């Protein structure tokens, strides 16, 4: 039922009011007070109503935050003395999807044991419904202003002039970033600022392709940078003042370097560029690789890493929250840009050739089983924490089954192009020999 980022899928198929009702009943059986918020998708209103009904039926009080960024909801759990929180969102997924993501009071997403308990309750209908006089209450609340205050307090521009910023809200719930930057004195211009769950301005995910308008506008203006969010604003990507859109790996390196000192440790997923490891290693900062998914990065941060990030745009500072907080990342990137141009910072991060492909696999699990067997026979330095990753000295390759599609993802990287090509050819052949065939 749960993926690495909660429950997600097409509305009316995977995600229904009936499912939201059941999740509410299951979660309500273990809680007394739950904070709930949603992104702008129209289906979110219906799902929040169903979720709240299930919570209330089991006697749990509901704090309804309405339209709110996911990090706002996650932070509100602790702020409002709740036992858990639920974001009704499909995050960066397209408009037909929606979902449910559950939060602990620390701001960390529900871990595997908690997800398993909720799944078991849903599958076995293990809950007790209260009589009419035992129902939970539902009250409206607003945590956005407190989130804005936390963002303003998290940075210090000193005596530097607040830079000009262009914020591409992506028609999502990230307006909290605009308000925080305005209070910091920045000159703020917005793109796609009206919340609209159809995402008419651009697709929700803030990829380089989807943010071409932002990068072009930043380059043609006197803004020092641009930032972009996905539908629920847990992600943040950025453009430098020269109009270059920062790659996720470069942005991870820049944010991590500014957030750590020698001896610290950074958590990042298995498919992160070797350049990040090299860049941070030169500064005495260690790196730990995790399975792909912000829930895994957050778990490693909770275990002691000073910072965690994913090149897709999820950034975690444990002193603030264990939830990926796109608005927090935005104000911290502005703080860095006010001190020194982002293009200069980005130029310090090495870039290595990386190759990617996706191969169709009707039975991707069987394909990956055969890949593991073949790799185990040929290589010594192998990680199977998430797919199969082989460290080959001056490079690496990774084969992973897609979490949502009948595909096997193939990635290879090396410090030299010829070696990257060689490793990619090897990895792709392993996948084909194991039964994957055809391109995506």
pLDDT at 5: 75
pLDDT at 133: 97
Alpha helices in 243-363 (DSSP H): 248-259, 274-281, 294-302, 326-339, 342-347
Q: Tell me, yes or no, whether 82 lies in a domain.
A: yes
Residues 128 and 205 in one domain: no
Contact assessment for residue 95 and residue 80, using Cβ atoms and an 8 Å cutoff: no
Strands 265-269 and 286-290: parallel
Q: Which of 87, 91, 273, 312 is catalytic?
A: 91
Residues 94 and 43 in one domain: yes
88 contact partners, CB below 8 Å, separation of at least 6: 20, 36, 37, 38, 39, 44, 47, 48, 51, 98, 99, 100
- Tokens 């935005």 belong to which residue? 330
Of the residues 303, 330, 347, the one at which a domain ends: 347
Give the pLDDT confidence of 130-145 residue by residue, as tens digits.
Answer: 999 999 999 999 999 9
DSSP code at position 340: S
Q: Tell me, yes or no, whether 205 lies in a domain.
A: yes
Exposed/middle/buried for residue 111 (C-beta within 10 Å: 0-12, 13-18, 19+):
middle
Of the residues 142, 163, 195, the one at which a domain ends: 142
pLDDT at 440: 47
Q: Tell me, yes or no, whether 1 lies in a domain.
A: no
- Tokens 């059941």 belong to which residue? 22
**Residue 91 annotated among the catalytic residues of the structure:** yes
91 contact partners, CB below 8 Å, separation of at least 6: 5, 8, 39, 70, 99, 101, 204, 230, 231, 232, 234, 235
CB atoms within 10 A of CB 158: 8
Give the pLDDT confidence of 302-324 residue by residue, as tens digits.
Answer: 999 999 999 999 999 999 999 99
Residues 137 and 150 in one domain: no
Q: Tell me, yes or no, whether 2 lies in a domain.
A: no
Exposed/middle/buried for residue 91 (C-beta within 10 Å: 0-12, 13-18, 19+):
buried
CB atoms within 10 A of CB 394: 14
Q: In whole angstroms, what is the distance from residue 28 CA to residue 47 CA?
A: 15
pLDDT at 216: 98
pLDDT at 97: 96
Residues 127 and 98 in one domain: yes
DSSP code at position 163: P
Measured CA distances, 72 to 83, 140, 314, 321 (Å): 15, 15, 15, 10
Residues 88 and 223 in one domain: no
Number of domains in the chain: 3
User: Which domain CATH number covers 20?
Assistant: 3.40.120.10
pLDDT at 405: 75
Give the domain range for residue 377.
Answer: 354-439
Contact assessment for residue 74 and residue 45, using Cβ atoms and an 8 Å cutoff: no
User: Which domain CATH number covers 390?
Assistant: 3.30.310.50
Chain centroid to CA 185: how far?
28
Residues 11 and 158 in one domain: no
Residues of the chain scoring pLDDT < 70:
4, 404, 438-440
Residues 327 and 191 in one domain: yes
Residues 220 and 118 in one domain: no
Residues 379 and 266 in one domain: no
Residues 91 and 157 in one domain: no
Of the residues 347, 372, 401, the one at which a domain ends: 347
Residues 75 and 174 in one domain: no
Q: Which of 227, 222, 161, 241 is nearest to 190 (CA)?
A: 227
Residues 186 and 326 in one domain: yes
pLDDT at 439: 55
Contact assessment for residue 292 and residue 383, using Cβ atoms and an 8 Å cutoff: no
* pTM to 2 decimal places: 0.93
Helix (H, G, I), strand (E, B) or coil at 336: helix
């Amino acid at each position: 039922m749960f993926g690495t980022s909660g429950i997600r899928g097409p509305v009316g198929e995977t995600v229904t009011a009936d499912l939201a009702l059941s999740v509410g009943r299951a979660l309500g059986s273990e809680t007394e007070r739950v904070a709930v918020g949603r992104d702008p998708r129209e289906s979110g209103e219906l799902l929040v109503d169903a979720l709240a009904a299930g919570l209330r039926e089991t006697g749990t009080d509901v704090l309804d935050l309405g339209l709110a960024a996911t990090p706002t909801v996650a932070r509100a759990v602790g702020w409002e003395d709740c036992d858990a929180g639920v974001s009704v969102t499909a995050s960066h997924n397209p408009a037909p999807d929606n979902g449910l993501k559950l939060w602990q009071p620390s701001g960390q997403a529900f871990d595997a044991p908690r997800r398993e308990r909720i799944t078991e309750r849903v599958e076995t209908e293990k809950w007790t419904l209260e009589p009419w006089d035992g129902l939970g209450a539902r009250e409206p609340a607003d945590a956005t202003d407190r989130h804005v205050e936390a963002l303003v307090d998290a940075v210090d521009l000193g005596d530097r002039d607040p830079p000009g910023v262009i914020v591409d809200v992506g028609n999502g719930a990230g307006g909290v970033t605009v308000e925080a930057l305005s209070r910091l004195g920045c000159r703020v211009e917005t793109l796609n600022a009206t919340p609209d769950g159809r995402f008419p301005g651009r697709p929700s995910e803030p990829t380089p392709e989807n943010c071409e308008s932002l990068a072009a506008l930043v380059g043609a203006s006197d803004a020092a940078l641009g930032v972009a969010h996905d539908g629920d604003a847990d992600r943040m990507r950025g453009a430098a003042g020269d109009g270059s859109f920062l790659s996720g790996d470069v942005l991870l390196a820049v944010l991590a370097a500014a957030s750590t000192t020698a001896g610290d440790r950074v958590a990042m997923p298995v498919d992160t560029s070797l350049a990040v490891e090299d860049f941070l290693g030169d500064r005495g900062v260690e790196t730990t690789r995790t399975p792909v998914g912000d829930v895994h990065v957050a778990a490693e941060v909770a275990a002691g890493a000073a910072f965690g990030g994913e090149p897709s745009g999820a950034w975690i500072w444990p002193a603030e929250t264990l939830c990926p907080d796109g608005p927090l990342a935005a104000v911290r990137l502005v703080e860095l840009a006010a001190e020194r141009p982002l293009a200069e910072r980005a130029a310090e991060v090495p870039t290595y050739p990386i190759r990617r492909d996706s191969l169709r696999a009707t039975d991707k699990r069987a394909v990956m089983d055969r890949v593991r067997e073949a790799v185990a026979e040929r290589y010594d330095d192998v990680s199977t924490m998430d797919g199969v990753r082989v460290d080959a000295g001056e490079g690496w390759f990774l084969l992973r089954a897609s979490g949502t599609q009948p595909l096997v993802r193939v990635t290879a990287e090396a410090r030299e192009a010829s070696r990257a090509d060689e490793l990619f050819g090897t990895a792709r052949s392993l996948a084909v020999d194991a039964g994957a065939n055809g391109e995506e």
